[in-house]
Amino acid sequence: MKSHIILGSITGFLVGAGFSLADDCSWSVALWRACVAALVIAMLTRWWSRIWLQSLGDAIRQRRHAAANPPPKTKPVTKT
């Protein structure tokens, strides 16, 4: 999870700095906006990675439950 947050922070910083510098802002304003963007995207990445990891855990539990409890085999109904 930490690696996701770090990746989100770096991405947010680069996006914030890029858009600020493309808008011809001064370096101090660009740095401030980049830091805010890094914080916001890191928080969004943390939220997303928690949901993603929880969904992966649920899928693993469902597969284990399905493997431990196979559906009962029924005989096909013959038509006469």
Count helices and strands in the chain by DSSP H and E runs: 2, 0
pTM of the predicted model, to two decimals?
0.71
Total domains, the chain: 1
| Residue 43 is assigned to a structural domain of this protein | yes
Q: Is residue 28 part of a domain?
A: yes
Give the pLDDT confidence of 14-37 residue by residue, as tens digits.
Answer: 999 999 999 998 999 999 999 999
34 is in which domain, residue-wise? 2-68
Give the model's pLDDT for residue 29: 93
- Does the residue 48 lie in any domain? yes
User: How many Å apart are CA 13 and CA 31, to the nearest integer?
Assistant: 8
77 in any annotated domain:
no
Do the domain assignments include residue 76?
A: no
